[in-house]
Chains A and B, each alone.
Chain A
Amino acid sequence: MNFIHKLEPIWWMLFGGGGFVAGFFLPGLIISVLLLGPSDLMSTGLSYPRAHALASGPVGRIFLIAVISLVLWHCAHHLRHFTLDLFGHAAAPVAAYGAYALALLGTIATVSAVLAL
């Protein structure tokens, strides 16, 4: 666990940044894409050519990587401490390594998906 504790400022930075990004953008993305995406209201805006053009531009790529990966790191840190609250310090190594490994996997998946656009 020493390795995890030494990097605590980095986890906190990712957690804080992810919190801001999640507050700023995640509900908007859930409403616009995940909930209204299939509806007629968004049929023009999220048609394949427009969605691809938005996502594959430099701003779109940076936006997607930053928002999704930071939200995942935020969730990982929150999940780590939620697990500690519920199950005590015996769960600390599994919670820390498990949560951050999932966030790392999610970040790699996000970057590879965005670069493949």
Chain B
Amino acid sequence: MSAKHFGPPKTPCAPARKPSGFPLGWYRYRNYTIFAATCIPMAIAAVELIVGIRALGKGEAAWDAWLASLATGPMRALNIVCLLFAIYFAFRFGWVGRKIAAGRIGPVPKPPLPMPILGVAPLGGFATLWLILFIILGGFV
């Protein structure tokens, strides 16, 4: 939609309003709201990583101090919350991704596998990548 379509509507109509029960009154609204809210803990985790890179650039003492700060109770709790939201995001992203098909003309064919099995593939791919990252960063290779 181009920018010119965002002006006031030519036909008088009631202003847009939220659906009844939004954001937490119905399970589909709740799922949507939790998925949207994943942006906040994920951004916090990204900011923590930026702080870590800055510490890495300042030398060994700053890096060790940053790692030690991650071991405190509040930071552990914060990072567990960030992880739970990030995992929820990844799983829901993968679960929705199974329905994405390449653009085509004509009738949509049946999926090659049942939809729940198609959903497992991206989730398994994500988990494998997390494991590979853990092995590389941990120096286990």
Contacts and interface: CB of A to CB of B under 8 A. Distances in A.
B3 A22 contact: no
Interface residues of A, number: 58
A41 to B, nearest CB: 7
B91 to A, nearest CB: 9
B115 interface: no
Nearest to B44: A75
Contacts of A36: 134, 138
Given A31-B134, A33-B52, A51-B63, A38 B80 contact: no
Interface residues of B, number: 59
Interface string B8-36: 00000000111000110000000001001
Which of A30, A38, A39, A117 has its CB near the most chain B CB atoms (within 10 A)?
Answer: A30
Contacts of A104: none
Nearest to B83: A30
Contact of A42 (B64, B79, B138): B138
Contacts of B6: 1-2, 5
10 nearest CB pairs, A to B: A45-B139, A28-B130, A28-B133, A78-B39, A38-B71, A45-B138, A75-B39, A82-B36, A75-B43, A23-B90
